Structure 1
Amino acid sequence: MKAIVQDRYGPADVLRLADVDPPTAGPGQVLVQVRAAGVDPGVWHLMTGLPYPVRLGYGLRRPRHRVPGMDLAGVVTAVGPGVDAFAPGDAVYGTGVGTFATYAIARADRLAPKPGNLTYVEAAAVPVSGQTALTAVRDAGRIRPGMRVLVIGAGGGVGTYAVQLAHAAGAHVTGLCGRGKLDLVRHLGADEVVDYTRTDLPDQRYDVVIDTGGNRSLSRLREVLTPKGTLVLVGGETGEGTWLRGFDRQLRALAVSPFVGPRLVPLVAKESTANLTTLTGHIEAGRLRPVLDRTFPLAGAADAIRHVERGHATGKVALTI
């Protein structure tokens, strides 16, 4: 089969298109013929092995999995022992291993039937970012009707979903994003939109701040929270170091949170069939839709990751396979 492979950590130049043997579904696993795969910053971290703690789980000297990619949408071609929720021919979406390929393996408990009103490319843009936003809004932020919510990075991959989910939960949503994304974020359900190139942060107080931007200090973010508000930290790219890049604020938030009024919550996203089913309900009811910035062919995976790395994509980027 065709796949994007890498034999060492590094920039996008380490990726190459190659012919490899297709994987085989083991117990509890599903083999999926991939029709499309999403691209997000997490793929960049696993490709580069940065920050270094990433390598503890994914290979110290080289990637344990040669084929990158997590998001997928496609058709089931085989199921492993113990899988009865899916059968060959089913259209599915979710997260797997090595999805930048013609075929990929996924755990059955991280797949769900593809929403009927989405194409494969649209569906592939949902799993990682959509479940991250769902966890931020529902579990970490505990957003309820009437709350005032600020989404930082509202025009990005996670931000576009967070705006829609917070709006669906009945919150008053303010979206902070670049000038070119203001109309989109307003259309997604934001009650107010703010251009970050003109205003660093709005001069208001919020019950929940969901920060997907990752470059503001904790002290600055606490200034726009109510005394009992919640700050949800979704990733982050602060710093240029190789040890804690993207994780330094999360560690400081864990240390500081017990001693301040607001809750500071480093997000740990949850991937599951149940979460995907919740997202499907929102999608098929018209409350949630993926926003696609660009699509690339499988052979253009390196270019797709470079595009995401620049940090200005509107919504999600996907590969068509």
Structure 2
Amino acid sequence: MAFRTLYKTLFTVDILHSYFLDDGLSSYLAMNDDEKKVQLKKYNFLDYINVIPSYATQAALRNHKLVLRKGQDSFRILGSVIEENNKFKLNRFLENDLKLTFLVYIKDYLFDNYTELTKTDNKLYYFSNIKPATEADPYSYIPLSSLNDLITDDFLLTEESTRQLWFDMEQDNIRAEITKRLDLVAELDSDDLVTDEGKQILDQSIQKEQGRGLLGIIELQMIGDNTMDVIEIDSTDPDDIKSFLLEPIPEYKLHFENRKTIWKYIKKSDANELETSSVKPLTRNGFIEIDPDTDFSGPLPTDIDKYIFPNPTANIIKQVTDENTNITTTYSEIFI
């Protein structure tokens, strides 16, 4: 007799970006379902980001019969299940405090140019259904897919929280490894988190990964805060505690916002520069038409009808800080 192993989705994380999904001034979030499907056909989050399970999570996936699958607009974790009382029970029990941790790495060197985020040394973005003890309220949990929340700097941890997160993750990795680690982080214990030397070692380790493109961490605990659970635990029988898939399946989302810039048109042959009076979004798809009479402030060249106004690419971004107001303006330069 042949036996078939049944796998069902445990949870899904959508990864979206308005730079790729907006169509000119038409926001992806405002599109109807059919329009969104059209945009998603030419979209693949792996073009600009990669999601890699931590070493400890790779071991946890193997030990708990869980599988990682990446699609064009999301990744998901599937679990081996059997049907029981019209629900799906996981073949391997998932503990309440089991965490699955995924490192988010930037692959596209232009990501910072077209993404509305702040990157800071020693600070990582954290997307989770649990709040670190070192974080204050209000705290931003990983958004649900059903919401229109965008990823902002609210998801950026403090330096203290980032060091604690990195230390905890590395401790999990060390416990999952067969051979002994030979780096300085492996020699730290919890007391070192408050020492200058310990902080320096952790900061250097974090910065090293940031240099490789690390943006942040997705971490989901099986039983989360505020009923943001990944699974259902049935402890009716203390001798036979079970874990079940939730219905509906939890679906989370990281939706990155595209950067908005002042568009500066530079015509070197006439020594002219024209700036838009307000910021406009950077998008890879669609076209945003420029109307000189409404989009530019100040006097226009007499031969303005001969000018062309292409949309900028993400290649040339410049930030200028005003010495008097300390306000920083981001420009896209377009040579015409």
TM-score, shorter chain, exceeding 0.5: no
Whose helix proportion is higher, 1 or 2? 1
- Structure number with larger C-alpha Rg: 2
Relative to the length of structure 1, the TM-score reads 0.24
Relative to the length of structure 2, the TM-score reads 0.23
> Of the two structures, which has the highest relative contact order with CA contacts closer than 8 Å and spacing of 6 or more?
2
